[in-house]
Amino acid sequence: MMARRALAGILIALLAVPAAASPTTGSPKAAFPIGTISQSNATNISGAGALPGTTVFSGDTIDVGPRGSAWILMSGGRHVRVSSSSRIRMVGHAGGQNRVEMEIFSGAARFASSETALVIARLADATVRAQGTQPAVGLISVLSLRKAVISSEKGELLVSTAHDRKSVTLREGEAVEVTLMDAPAPGKPQSGGSTGAKSLTGTQVAVIGSVVAAILALLAIKLADDNRNLTLLEKQDAVSPFKFP
């Protein structure tokens, strides 16, 4: 009898003490690591300075200042390069290590997917991902609050919009301009005369334009300007998916 009472007392004491939350599962808001900063300059993560070696967690917002840049390395050979004067957000999926999302709000960012691990880029309601399972390298450049360009540096990319379920495939070296506009209120037609929003949010819509080629050089100028301290060879390697001799 005494042993039973003692056991009951221990159980009551254990139940009265709250269990420590797991860093990844104890709270719905708990973040988990998805990558590491390999190179950085004038870069902040969620408001704090980010040096090489800094861990990037799911939900982190990365801000790169003028003349700055940041490289994010992830498992499976994936990476994201953030250009100067840019803002992105990285989102991972618990239990889904093979999929990471990069949402871009301003500036330019380059992303690379491998055969086994995927990076999905988001711009307003548009998603950009590798077509099939082959490796792909893409570049998104937000030109203004109303215009952006999506291009494929390597492999094929599938660009899709949620509001109209349209999609277009970009072959290597091709690009497409998208128009950003405010989503119309329920029951109201969409107007082309709306004023510019202050940020790219979920209330905006990306409209796919015509596919064009040979404009990667224009986007490369922005990437090259990000790192004026790099050598010419390093700038060429940063722009091209292939190493220069």
Condensed to tens digits (0 to 9), the pLDDT of residues 35-83 reads 999 999 999 998 899 999 999 999 999 999 999 999 999 999 999 999 9
Residue 99 lies in a domain: yes
Does residue 67 form part of some domain? yes
**Mean pLDDT of the 133-146 span:** 92
pTM of the prediction? 0.71
For position 104, what pLDDT does the model report?
A: 96
Residue 203: give the domain boundaries: 30-184+197-238
Q: Is there a domain that residue 103 lies in?
A: yes
In a domain? residue 35: yes
Q: What is the mean pLDDT of residues 149-177?
A: 92
What is the tally of structural domains in the chain?
Answer: 1
Does residue 25 fall inside a structural domain? no
Which residues neighbour 185 within 8 Å (Cβ) at sequence distance 6 or greater? none
Residue 190 lies inside a defined structural domain of this protein: no
CATH code of the domain covering residue 210? 2.60.120.1440
Domain presence at residue 191: no
Let me know if residue 1 belongs to a domain: no
CA 102 → CA 66, 163, 176, 244, distances in Å? 20, 19, 19, 27
How does residue 199 score in pLDDT terms, banded at 50, 70 and 90? Answer: low
